[in-house]
A and B are shown apart, each in its own frame.
Chain A
Amino acid sequence: MPRALRALRRRERVMKKVLSGNHAAAVAAQLARTQVSVGYPITPATQVFEALAEMKAKGELPGEFIAAESEHSVMAALLGASTAGARTFTATSSHGLAYMHEVLHWVAGARLPIVMVDVNRALAAPWNLWTDQTDSLSQRDTGWMQTYCSTNQEVLDTVLMSFKIAERVMLPSMVVLDGFTLSHSYEPVDVPSQAEVDAFLPPFRPELKLDPDQPITFGSLTQPKDYLRLRRRMAADMAEAENAVEEVGREFGEIFGRSYGQLDPYRCEDAETILVTSGAVGSTARAAVDALREKGLKAGNLRLRAFRPFPAKSLRAFVKPGMKLAVVDRNYSPGMGGIFAQEIKAALYPRPGVSVHGYVTGLGGGDITVELLQEVWERVDDAPVAEVPAATWVEDAR
């Protein structure tokens, strides 16, 4: 049977459902046969927790579900459950993620393949409920992988792929989606069958686990020499994760008809100035690029799906001399600038003939419109290459 036909037949078995980003995440956790999920409510991620609780109540969630008393405890419980050999999942946002910070380090250092959904939301003060990448990017150095999604379909697919990647390289994985923009927007989503997911994602069977028949200690005091070696091993596996993301993304495509990589370029073949985006802004950027192309301008969009491991190799292969990158950052590192822009500059250094321009916008849920992105794109041509890495702040005036 030809491959396309096979894919078509598979697609016929697929169920289209209209799901919010949050529900897509919960359905993916269920399809992944999560053995222990733990949660604590926080806007805009609460629905994931509620959906899991409801599935559990209806007997549709095969594993254990724990409604913890705080996010610190959520991640600690996952630390325990994952060390005991279970496949584990949670979802959180903003202050919840910040509250987990200590345990995020712990889990990554312990090399536990926990998968967590983070619904991007700004941090106080002042209180703000809307999307902003500061929460997830503040966890950049914890040792978690991070993938930014632009549609609800991608949320569901990325949760499934993340389990597979995490269990291969033994590192935890964060699946990031925009608060409200994705978490509360409903889109048609292909929900694969359990059989398909089972074929893609085998059960989690770690070599080492808490087991009275094999008494071993996890996480004990370690001398500098061994500590450094363990960190170095983690670095090597993080590097290997770059390949894993690409391979698993391809393998996913073979089974489900949708493949994914670290980068998602759009109309970039002959583009000279490229909008670089992440998350849901990716969809808006495509519309902006289409509008610019209609005016005869050579615009393109490059969406970064992977942030950790940072797709440095893929990015270097993508970028050509003469290219200008306009990086749209929905985040800001005070005293430095937009985080994606800084990371891209670091990854490309030294790269003569390529300029990177950072634009900070949409903080705390501010609108990032098609018009705004066109303006950003048009600004780049006149922009001088700044001597200091300053960000340009832009906001939607409409």
Chain B
Amino acid sequence: MTTLKKTKTSIPVAELMSSGHLACQGCGATMAMRYALKGLGDRTVMVVPACCWTVISGANPRSSINLPLLHSPFAAAAATATGVKAGLVSRGDRETTVVAWAGDGGTFDIGIQALSGAADRDEDILYVCYDNEAYMNTGVQRSGGTPSGAWTMSTPAGSARPKKDLDAIMLAHHIPYFATATPAYAEDMVRKFAKARTVKGFRFIHILSPCPPGWKTDPMDSTKLSRLAVQTGLFRLYEVEEGVTRLNMNVTNRKPVEEYLKAQGRFKSMPAGEIAAIQRRVDAAWEPEKGRPS
């Protein structure tokens, strides 16, 4: 374990993200971008498809990040980033990191074709999914990232289907670097982005990103919730490099999932039996293997 002093200085002080962005209070996607940019640095171009970040980045002519940014069609973040990289290379710039930054809807659902295509071609880009587990920009509808039992505007009785296993889909593409992260573990996140910057080929980072209005939670609780997601074992922090999996946090003494679920209004009408079933699934996934959740 690192000391507190070391932890503090391990994160770059320089900010590429500014105040005055247009996110809700307690937005995990905003924290995620801030840490991501600390790891990536300023030789970065961002591609953002339709999602909350379309708004968060600021309306014309303002911008909340001090980087070149290209807004892209909803379905095409990975393809647009592919083109940006090719365009930069054709101009002789091989250094700049090109990042596609998309929500779960733009990743698990509509953007999955372009994402799979780019991963399959091993394009030299970094794709980041900040997963707030629903379509938030259009007012909270179910996406493929929505967990079972969660209320959304299109699943008023709670989503009947389990969360799509996107990690498995991405890993099936044999990509050189894959990682998960949450803003509660800032140091881990910054390190992963700094690492991803140095890897050549297709890289993917999956971030669990709390969303107070969509999760029906207090803006104050976002960090706590993203930490609880890890501590309950619902969201694993791990990375896969050239096929080798490394668990970044082995939560042997897991907190009960109820603690995470009960704290959120979106799981309010979830029956106790369902919570117990989720607990059993999480326990089964953690024991005995310590890799990726199945």
Contacts and interface: CB of A to CB of B under 8 A. Distances in A.
Interface of A: 35-36, 38, 63-64, 66-70, 72-74, 76-86, 88, 102-103, 106, 210-212, 214-223, 226
B117 A219 contact: no
B89 A64 contact: yes
B59 A86 contact: no
B45 A36 contact: no
Contacts of B79: 68, 72-74, 76-77, 80
A64 B86 CA distance: 6
A52 to B, nearest CB: 13
Interface string B31-68: 00000000000111101000000110111110100111
A293 B106 CA distance: 61
Given A80-B72, A80-B82, A221 B90 contact: no
B83 A78 contact: yes
B63 A217 contact: yes
Indicate the size class of the contact surface on chain B.
35 or more
A35 B87 contact: yes
B69 interface: yes
B70 A81 contact: no
B88 interface: yes
A221 B60 CA distance: 6
A217 B91 contact: no
A123 B7 CA distance: 60
Contacts of A222: 59-60
21 contacts: A36-B87, A66-B86, A69-B113, A72-B113, A76-B83, A79-B70, A79-B76, A80-B86, A81-B84, A84-B87, A84-B88, A86-B91, A210-B68, A210-B88, A212-B42, A212-B43, A215-B68, A217-B68, A217-B70, A219-B70, A220-B60
A210 B80 contact: no
Interface in B85-127: 85-91, 96, 113-114, 116-118, 120-121
A215 B76 CA distance: 22
Given A84-B87, A212-B44, A223-B59, A68 B81 contact: no
Nearest to B44: A212
B68 A80 contact: no
B118 to A, nearest CB: 8
B71 interface: yes
A80 B83 contact: yes
Nearest to A38: B83
Contacts of B27: none
A73 B84 contact: no
B79 to A, nearest CB: 3
A77 B88 CA distance: 12
Contacts of B70: 79-80, 83, 210, 217-219
A220 B66 contact: no
B117 A81 contact: no
* Residue of B45, B68, B116 with most chain A CB atoms under a 10 A cut-off: B68
Contact of A76 (B61, B80, B88, B90): B80
B80 A70 contact: no
A86 B86 contact: yes
Contacts of A74: 79
Contacts of B113: 69-70, 72-73
B73 interface: yes
Contact of A81 (B42, B75, B87): B87
Contact of B120 (A69, A103, A214, A221): A69
Contact of A66 (B42, B58, B82): B82
Contact of A220 (B42, B43, B44, B57): B57
Going nearest first, the 6 A-B pairs with the smallest beta carbon separation are A84-B87, A80-B83, A69-B117, A77-B83, A76-B76, A73-B79
A26 to B, nearest CB: 18
B68 A79 contact: no
Contact of A214 (B68, B76, B88, B89): B68
Contacts of A106: 72-73
Contact of A36 (B63, B69, B86, B114): B86
B91 A79 contact: no
B75 A72 contact: yes
Contacts of A78: 83
A220 B86 contact: no
Given A36-B87, A86-B91, A220-B69, 17 more contacts: A35-B87, A69-B121, A72-B76, A72-B113, A76-B73, A76-B76, A80-B80, A84-B91, A102-B73, A106-B73, A210-B45, A215-B66, A215-B69, A217-B57, A220-B58, A220-B71, A221-B54
